[in-house]
Every structure is written in C-alpha cells, then in structure tokens.
Amino acid sequence: MIARLIAGLLLALGTAAFLPAPARAQLTFPGASPISSGNIVLRAQPEATEAGGGFSSLFDRNVLIYGASPDLTFLVQNNSIITNSADVGGRQLSATGFGDTLFQTRYTIFQQDGIGSTLRVAPIIGINVPTGMNAVNSALSPALQPGTGAWGTRDAITASWQTLYWNGGAEAGYQANSDASSYHIGNTVYADVGFHYLLWPSSLEGQVGSELYASLESNYTSSDANASFGRTVGGTGGQLLLIDPGIIWTTTLYSVSFTALLPAYERIAADGGRYNYGVALFFRRSFFTDLHW
C-alpha cells in the first residue's frame, strides 16, 4: 500500500509541472492587440486538461484588462477556482481552491497602422503574487495545490499582425519562480503562436456587427525540473508542444470561443504522465471608463 502511495506521489510530481499552468493560447492573452485607453475587458476562461495517470485539472482563468493609455495596458489574471486531481495509491485525491494572481504590464513600443491592418510589438513584464491556497491537500505535491505559494516574475515579448481577414500573433517569455516552503517549481520558457482566419461574413462593407473566425494556435513550454530542499525532484520538468484548433465568435461587445488543446510533442520526464488533451471556453466583454490617461 505504501509502495503504491509512493508510486502515485512520484507520478503526481512528474506531471505536476504541467497541470497547474497549461497552455496560454493567444486566446487567453491579448498579444499586442490594441486596447483603447479607458477600455476595460473582463474575460472568463474555464479550462479543463487531462493527463495520464488519472491527473486532471479544472479551473476558471479570469482576466481583467485595463487600457491606461493608448500604449499602456495593465492585466490582472487570477485562476479563480482550481481543482487538481490525481490518482494516488488507487485513490482519487483532489485539491480545490483559489489560485495565484499574475499582474502584468504591457507597453506598445512599435505600431504601424494601415486601413484595416495593424502591426504592433509590445514587451510585457509581470509578477506572480502568491494569493492562492498552497496547502489544501497535503497528500498531493506542492505543484498540485491551487496556489504555488511562490512569488514569480514573467518577462515576455509579444507581437500581433492583424488585418481585416486574418490575425497572426506570437509571444515568447520566461517565468521564474521563487521557493515556497523549500519547494521550487521549475522555471519555464514558453512560446506561443496563433493564427485566426475570418470565416464570416465574406463582405465587410458598411457597419459589421459580428464575425466568426477559425483559429489555430500552438503553445510550447519547456520547464526545468522542480526542486525540494534544493534537490531535484525526479520525474519533473520537460517539454510540451500543443496544437489548438478553435473557433471564435466576436461582436462589438462580446467574444466567445471554444478551443481544443491537443499535444503534438511531449518530452515529459515522468512515465505515464502524458498530457492527453485540454479544452477551453472563452467569454469576453468590454466596458469603458473615462478614468484613463
């Protein structure tokens, strides 16, 4: 029984690096898209992922975006309710609670606008604040708790090239994590690319009220191994490449999307810890305030 429990724990540690932070598709991030000053965007993104060994993660990623000036945008992301589950020693254990909060600042450093097109580049800096619950279920590894308990930083560069009929975007970044209770979740390099193609309407003459896009995105993650009390935790870290086909419905006020998160390449350290699939819904609504620069 103890052996099965240990085996289960090792398995849990093996995939833990991927479950709490699955793909950040462009749908989950605005890239370098224009955000008007005073524009407030609220976004909710329920997401579910499933991996080998009975691991699953279900959470609601909520994002608040605020255009402080034509070039400066603030983003606050909180993984509000997280349930991470794992099969440990034949028992299905889970940890449910609130996650961490990521505060990010984006500043557009390059902007080239044309009629019906825009090319923008923006660096992003962010800080992960350990607002989440990191000791919900002691039978699960620290990386499977809803919150990491660790401060972190995120540095990225993002670019978007958008036209009336297609949008392309890319983002590359690095997330560094601090230790929390002598446990360190491996630092991560990530790279995302996305392409959206207008399906409907075929004509954009006059005032267009809504549009339907097909989307195809890809997310690459390379994580260092986790460490506990300074020693590398076996079976952690690795690389994961996801391909995400999806569909987006957007209006002046709202956007809704559905995206599948499918593994294309995996080199995850743990045996049996393969990432199987994920799905993400996406709701977005715009608001406006006169409080801005």
Partner 1 sequence: MQGGWARRGAAAALLVVTLAAAPALADTSAADSREAFVTVMGVVSPYATFGLLKHLSGIPGVASVTFDLAHGIADVHLRPGASVTDQQFRDAIRSASYTAGDIRRKSETSENLPGGR
The CB-of-87 to partner 1 minimum distance in angstroms stands at 42
C-beta neighbour count of 117 within 10 angstroms: 12
C-beta neighbour count of 212 within 10 angstroms: 12
Q: What residues are paired with 190 via a beta bridge?
A: 173, 221
Is 207 one of the binding residues for partner 1 (CB under 8 A)? yes
Of 132, 145, 28, 135, which is closest to residue 83 (Cα–Cα)? 145
The CB-of-33 to partner 1 minimum distance in angstroms stands at 8
> Does residue 160 sit in helix, strand or coil?
strand
Return the number of the residue (182 or 252) whose C-beta is nearest partner 1.
252
| x/- track of binding to partner 1 for residues 47-86 (CB under 8 A) | --------------------x--xx---------------
Of 248, 246, 249, which is closest to residue 259 (Cα–Cα)? 246
Chain-centre distance for alpha carbon 20: 9
Integer Cα distance of 18 and 38 in angstroms = 35
Return the number of the residue (22 or 67) whose C-beta is nearest partner 1.
67
User: Could you tell me which stretch among 183-191, 198-206, 257-265, 272-280 binds partner 1 (CB under 8 A)?
Assistant: 198-206
Is 200 one of the binding residues for partner 1 (CB under 8 A)? no
User: Could you tell me which stretch among 30-38, 91-99, 230-238, 239-247 binds partner 1 (CB under 8 A)?
Assistant: 30-38
Plot region of 70 (φ>0 → left; ψ -120 to 50 → alpha; else → beta): alpha
Is 208 one of the binding residues for partner 1 (CB under 8 A)? yes
Is 96 one of the binding residues for partner 1 (CB under 8 A)? no
Is 182 one of the binding residues for partner 1 (CB under 8 A)? no
Integer Cα distance of 220 and 265 in angstroms = 9
Residues that bind partner 1 (CB under 8 A): 33-39, 67, 70-71, 108, 111, 113-118, 162-164, 167, 203-211, 250-253, 255, 286, 288, 290, 292
